[in-house]
Amino acid sequence: MTSQNAGGGNAILVINAGSSSLKFSVFRESGAGGLRVTINGQISGIGTEPKFEAKDAAKRPLAERVWTAGEPSDRTALLAFLLEWIEGRLDGAKLLAAGHRVVHGGTRHAAPVLLTPAVMEELESFIPLAPLHQPHNLAAIRALAEAHPELPQVACFDTAFHRGQPWQAQMFAIPRELTDEGVRRYGFHGLSYEYIARRLPELAPELADGRVVVAHLGSGASMCAIHAGRSVDSTMGFTALDGLPMGTRCGNIDPGVLIYLMRQKGMGADAIEKLLYNKSGLLGVSGLSNDMRALLDSEDPQAGEAVELFCFRIAKETGALAASMGGIDALVFTAGIGERSAPVRARVGDKLAWLGVVIDPAANEANGPLISAPTSRIPVYVIPTDEEQMIALHSRKALETA
């Protein structure tokens, strides 16, 4: 397919599929080769009682539907409905492709790829590396191929942005044969970091070649060291379980704890997986919630400890990532907590006073974009991420170069 096929008025569908939900966006081509979102929505309750909701770019409701018992509501039927609904609102424009967020691309994929049966087979081999995400990403691709076999599909990987990291940042100190088999640090949230790496120089051109630590703080949380727009190091490693404490994930943990759980508690792989992925993190420490807003509102001491641990680890990892780059020129907060939680940003800023960080309280409460005071040695920004925009751009490019 050539760039001529991607002419004005075309559209890209972006899909982010989970276990029981499917988020989607529609991007239309705009002037100067840009892409603007026109529709956002989701299908929730997949497998139980599916519900479809769609809004326009201004967040105004466009449509809603609930499937009743007995109606066809498997993924294929739901995606067939979604495509028909979207195509009815394109005003004659052509839907060029569907771009998917795929968590794991292994060591080979440093860029998005047009999906083929051979690529799908390869991506299925990465399911053990991302068991909570990869199966659902691929299930949506298969279902859409069944519902709309003529529509090109593109995989955009959360690991791709990190593939150019130095070998030291990717390697574990384990026997070489295991490293060669793929047991290495991959890093995740790459689509988010790639967007920030593109957006930051627009806000602060002097940082285009700078050393920047980005904190992607949401239900899943990680951090990345970016030097001159390229990933140098990250907190997530072999899986999306590593690094910072998250909503329900433990983050970094001594492997000896896992041996202890197996030997002393008699826990098998499934039980340990459930403990570390679903019962730990903010939820495990607080015993109350995995929602940062609920923890900040609570007077329970354990809720306070969960917040404090989260902020402590962010500050600690900031220092480690700065060391990976030989210094730091800026700090960026992004994703749900990073973009909207002024108290978390303020606490992290206080813990980074040794770096010369000074947060401006009024700018912080206003959510930025610049939240550091003029006296701060390094600037601190809040930049909303847009993984969907990256997927749309990548999908169009993949079609143009195919």
Tell me: is residue 23 an annotated ligand-binding position: yes
Tell me if the bond preceding 369 is cis, omega within 30° of 0.
Answer: yes
Please choose, from the candidates 370, 320, 323, 367, the residue with its C-alpha nearest in 3D space to the C-alpha of residue 344.
367
Tell me whether residue 74 is one of the annotated catalytic residues.
Answer: no
Tell me: is residue 163 an annotated ligand-binding position: no
Tell me: is residue 210 an annotated ligand-binding position: no
Tell me: is residue 293 an annotated ligand-binding position: yes
Tell me: is residue 53 an annotated ligand-binding position: no
Tell me: is residue 387 an annotated ligand-binding position: yes
Tell me: is residue 256 an annotated ligand-binding position: no
Over the chain, what HEC string results?
Answer: CCHHHHCCCCEEEEEEECCCCEEEEEEEECHHHCEEEEEEEEEECCCCCCEEEEEECCCCEEEEEECCCCCCCCHHHHHHHHHHHHHCCCCCCCEEEEEEEECCCCCCCCCCEECCHHHHHHHHCCHHHCCCCHHHHHHHHHHHHHHCCCCCEEEEECCHHHCCCCHHHHCCCCCHHHHHCCCCCCCCCHHHHHHHHHHHHHHCHHHCCCEEEEEEECCCEEEEEEECCEEEEECCCCCCCCCCCCCCCCCCCCHHHHHHHHHHCCCCHHHHHHHHHHCCHHHHHHCCCCCHHHHHHCCCHHHHHHHHHHHHHHHHHHHHHHHHHCCCCEEEEEHHHHHHCHHHHHHHHHHCHHHCCCECHHHHHCCCCECECCCCCCCEEECCCCHHHHHHHHHHHHHHHC
Tell me: is residue 364 an annotated ligand-binding position: no
Distance CA 139, CA 6 (A): 27
Select which of 74, 158, 209, 242 is catalytic.
Answer: 158
Could you tell me which residues are beta bridge partners of residue 64?
Answer: 53
Cβ pair 396, 348 in contact under 8 A: no
Tell me: is residue 270 an annotated ligand-binding position: no
Tell me: is residue 206 an annotated ligand-binding position: no
Tell me: is residue 209 an annotated ligand-binding position: no
Residues in CB range of 85: below 8 A, 6 or more apart: 52, 54, 63
Tell me: is residue 377 an annotated ligand-binding position: no
Tell me the catalytic residues.
158
- Output the known binding site: 16, 23, 101, 216-220, 291-293, 387
- Output the known binding site for ATP: 23, 216-220, 291-293
- Output the known binding site for substrate: 101
